[in-house]
Chain A
Amino acid sequence: MKRMSWFNVTSLTLGFAFLYLPMLVLIFYSFNASKLVTVWAGFSVRWYGELLQNEAFLDAAWVTLKVAVISSSIATVLGTMAAYVLVRGGRFMGRTLFSGMIYAPLVMPEVITGLSLLLLFIGIGLDRGVLTIVLAHTTFSMCYVSVVVSSRLVSFDRSLEEAALDLGSTPWEAFRLVTLPIIAPAVISGWLLAFTLSLDDLVIASFTAGPAATTLPIKIFSAVRLGVSPEINALSTIMILIVTIGVVTASLVTKQGVIRAQKEAQAAERAPV
Chain B
Amino acid sequence: MPRVSQTVFAPWDDPTEKPLIRFQNVTKRFGTFVAIDDLTLDIYEREFFALLGPSGCGKTTMMRMLAGFETISEGKIELAGQDIGHVPPNERAVNMMFQSYALFPHLSVWDNIAFGLKRDRKSKAEIDARVDEMLKLVRLEKFARRKPHQISGGQRQRVALARSLAKAPKLLLLDEPLGALDKKLRQDTQFELMDIQETTGTTFVIVTHDQEEAMTVASRVAVMDEGRIMQVATPAAIYEHPNSVYVADFIGDVNIISGQTNASGTDTYRLSWAEGQQPVTATSDITFSEGQKAHLAIRPEKIRISTDQPVDADNKVQGKVLDIAYLGNLSTYHVELPGGQVIKAQTANTRRIARRDITWEDPVWISWNATAGVMLAE
Contacts and interface: CB of A to CB of B under 8 A. Distances in A.
Interface of A: 157, 159-160, 162-171, 173, 177-178, 181-182, 261, 264-265, 267-269, 271, 273
B178 to A, nearest CB: 13
A267 B116 contact: no
Given A166-B68, A273-B185, 16 more contacts: A160-B102, A162-B67, A162-B69, A162-B89, A162-B96, A162-B98, A163-B163, A166-B94, A167-B115, A168-B167, A178-B104, A182-B104, A182-B106, A268-B146, A268-B151, A268-B155
Nearest to A264: B150
B67 A166 contact: yes
B95 A273 contact: no
Contact of B150 (A163, A164, A165, A268): A268
24 contacts: A159-B102, A162-B67, A162-B98, A162-B102, A163-B96, A164-B104, A165-B89, A166-B90, A166-B94, A166-B96, A167-B95, A167-B116, A168-B119, A168-B167, A169-B119, A181-B106, A182-B106, A261-B149, A265-B149, A268-B149, A269-B152, A269-B153, A271-B152, A273-B152
B105 interface: yes
- Central interface residue in B90, B147, B153, B167, by most chain A CB within 10 Å: B90
B104 A160 contact: yes
Nearest to A170: B90
Top 5 nearest A-B pairs (CB, nearest first) are A167-B116, A168-B119, A163-B102, A159-B102, A165-B89
A273 B102 contact: no
Interface in B133-165: 146-147, 149-155, 163-164
A169 to B, nearest CB: 5
B100 interface: yes
B275 interface: no
B167 A167 contact: yes
B181 to A, nearest CB: 10
B186 to A, nearest CB: 12
Contacts of A261: 149
Given A271-B152, A273-B152, A166 B89 contact: yes
A2 B123 CA distance: 59
Contacts, number: 81
A165 to B, nearest CB: 4
A161 to B, nearest CB: 9
Given A157-B100, A159-B102, A169 B90 contact: yes
Interface in B43-74: 67-69
Contacts of B102: 157, 159-160, 162-163
A170 B154 CA distance: 30
A264 B151 CA distance: 8
Contacts of B152: 268-269, 271, 273
Given A159-B100, A178-B104, A182-B105, A273 B155 contact: yes
Contact of A159 (B98, B115, B150): B98
B120 interface: yes
Contacts of B96: 162-163, 166
A166 B69 CA distance: 9
Nearest to B115: A167
A269 B154 CA distance: 10
A159 B120 CA distance: 21
Interface string B89-123: 11100111011101011100000000110011000
Contacts of B150: 264-265, 267-268
Contacts of A177: 115
Contacts of A181: 106
A174 B149 CA distance: 21
B115 A164 contact: yes
A267 to B, nearest CB: 7
B70 to A, nearest CB: 11
A271 B155 CA distance: 10
A159 B102 CA distance: 6
Residue picked from B147, B151, B167, most chain A C-beta under 10 Å: B151
Interface in B255-299: none
Nearest to B155: A273
Contacts of A162: 67, 69, 89, 96, 98, 102
Interface string B211-250: 0000000000000000000000000000000000000000
Interface in B292-317: none
Nearest to A166: B96
B105 A163 contact: no
- Which of A162, A182, A267, A268 has most B Cβ within 10 Å? A268
Nearest to A273: B154
A173 B149 contact: no
A165 B90 contact: yes
A162 B99 CA distance: 12
A251 B269 CA distance: 79
B10 to A, nearest CB: 30
B119 A167 contact: yes
A170 B121 CA distance: 13
B170 to A, nearest CB: 13
Nearest to A270: B152
A268 B100 CA distance: 18
A261 B149 CA distance: 8
Nearest to A168: B119
Interface in B77-92: 88-91
A264 B108 CA distance: 14
Given A159-B98, A159-B102, A182-B106, A168 B151 contact: no
Contacts of A165: 68-69, 88-90
Nearest to A173: B119
Contacts of A160: 102, 104
A264 B149 CA distance: 7
Nearest to A163: B102
A182 B96 CA distance: 21
Contacts of B154: 273
